Amino acid sequence: MLLSTHYKSRRTEWNLLKEGELNMSTLQETSATQEAQALSEKEPTVNRKYKDTVFRMLFSEKKHLLSLYNAVTGKHYEDAEALQIVTLKNAIYMGMKNDLAFLLETNIYLYEHQSTVNPNMPLRNLLYIAIEYQKYVSDKSLYSSSIVKIPAPKFVVFYNGTDTLEDTVELKLSSAYEHLDGEPDLELKVILLNINEGHNKELMEHCQILKEYAIYVARVRKYAAEMKLEDAVNKAIEECIKEGILADFLQKNRSEVKMWSILEYDQEVEEKKLRKAEYEAGLETGRSEGITIGKNQGIEIGRSEGIELILQSIQKSGYPLEQIAEMTGRPVEEVKRILKVMP
């Protein structure tokens, strides 16, 4: 129900934007209202389900998760039972979730799959790890004379979206600080690994399940461009089973994989549409304001101000200049000039 409501809300915003009935301020007000509602519901044990993903289903099996861990860290653990899964169940915290959290030796690892680049991942992980630590020390006194030991955190995001991205990207919490004076007193780093087919080849070679997952996702995307999404997913599943790609997993979980694959792809497309619509709506606002000034000069001023407004909004969300340029179809140097970025 929650997922269905989310998509209906997104589609409504998109349709209104296309029809010119929703401007940027309305969109922002709607977003603020939704955030306020989320804040009122942010108990760590909310009894609501967020959507599963094929990635989460696949790596919820300890043997697969251990294989992924070994590939990421370069280690060679063999005992999958040494992993202690500590993922928060049915938890929604400020609209944030984590796919997989587990303890191994003295570390806690937070793994998440993303099909869109989210610059707020460090902040989301900070909030999430705070809940994990709260659970971890629940039977300990923080006022004792001895130090309370906690597991060291490691944050990894596995990205398989369509935006161009390097094999490895580091996201920092300090990038979100409005006024940072010197070195940050609180830092949190998230390593983002591009797991699309053709990327991070060494990682893929050390985790066969991850490699096969990347192949499956690539098949779905390829066929979705040629036929209906449901048919594309069916064809990808059939081919992968025949070729021995995730064969046992797909045969065992065929209906669930089909459902989540369709929803994941749909969400990815909807988010791209919304980002494009937000940009175009802001651009149109700039044009309209310029027209009121009068004649060609006013139109040009309005267009420029609208572009600047959108670029500033995207920059505040934490996107790097190169990606802002790609998203808006403008040269990097022009983006730098508009945002007055010093060389």
pLDDT in tens, 185-210: 999 999 999 999 899 999 999 999 99
pLDDT at 277 over 80: no
Q: Which two tokens stand for residue 130?
A: 């705070």
More confidently predicted of 79 and 264: 79
Query: Cα–Cα distance between 123 and 299 in angstroms, integer?
Result: 39
Quick one: average pLDDT of 276-303? Answer: 52
Confidence of residue 33 (pLDDT cuts 50, 70, 90): very low
- pLDDT (0 to 100) of residue 272: 52
Q: Which two tokens stand for residue 125?
A: 């992980």
- The helix (run of H) or strand (run of E) holding residue 34 is helix 24-40
Task: State the Rg of the chain over Cα.
Answer: 22
- pLDDT (0 to 100) of residue 16: 45
pLDDT at 211 over 90: yes
Q: What tens digit of pLDDT does each residue of 100-111 get?
A: 999 998 899 999
Confidence of residue 274 (pLDDT cuts 50, 70, 90): very low
Strand partners, 155: 110
Q: Which residues contact 44 (CB under 8 A, 6 or more apart)?
A: 88, 91, 93, 131, 134
- pLDDT (0 to 100) of residue 133: 94
Strands 100-104 and 152-159: unpaired
Query: Cα–Cα distance between 185 and 170 in angstroms, integer?
Result: 18
Nearest to 217 by CA among 270, 302, 159, 292: 159
Q: What tens digit of pLDDT does each residue of 34-53 get?
A: 444 443 344 333 333 334 68
pLDDT at 336 over 60: yes
State if pTM tops 0.75.
no
Quick one: average pLDDT of 155-169? Answer: 92
| Residues 46 and 91: beta-carbon distance below 8 Å | yes
Nearest to 197 by CA among 213, 179, 181, 185: 213
Quick one: average pLDDT of 141-165? Answer: 93
More confidently predicted of 144 and 275: 144
SS3 155: strand
For residue 208, how many other CB atoms are within 10 A of its CB? Answer: 14
Q: What is the largest CA-CA distance in the chain?
A: 73
pLDDT at 25 over 70: no
Quick one: average pLDDT of 83-110? Answer: 78
Q: Which residues contact 266 (CB under 8 A, 6 or more apart)?
A: 7, 229
Query: Cα–Cα distance between 207 and 202 in angstroms, integer?
Result: 9
SS3 172: strand
**For the sheet containing 107-114, what is the strand order?**
84-85, 100-104, 107-114, 152-159, 189-194, 168-172
- pLDDT (0 to 100) of residue 137: 93
What's the one-letter identity of residue 39? L
Query: Cα–Cα distance between 289 and 306 in angstroms, integer?
Result: 9
More confidently predicted of 202 and 11: 202
Query: Cα–Cα distance between 314 and 296 in angstroms, integer?
Result: 27
Confidence of residue 129 (pLDDT cuts 50, 70, 90): very high
Query: Cα–Cα distance between 176 and 291 in angstroms, integer?
Result: 35
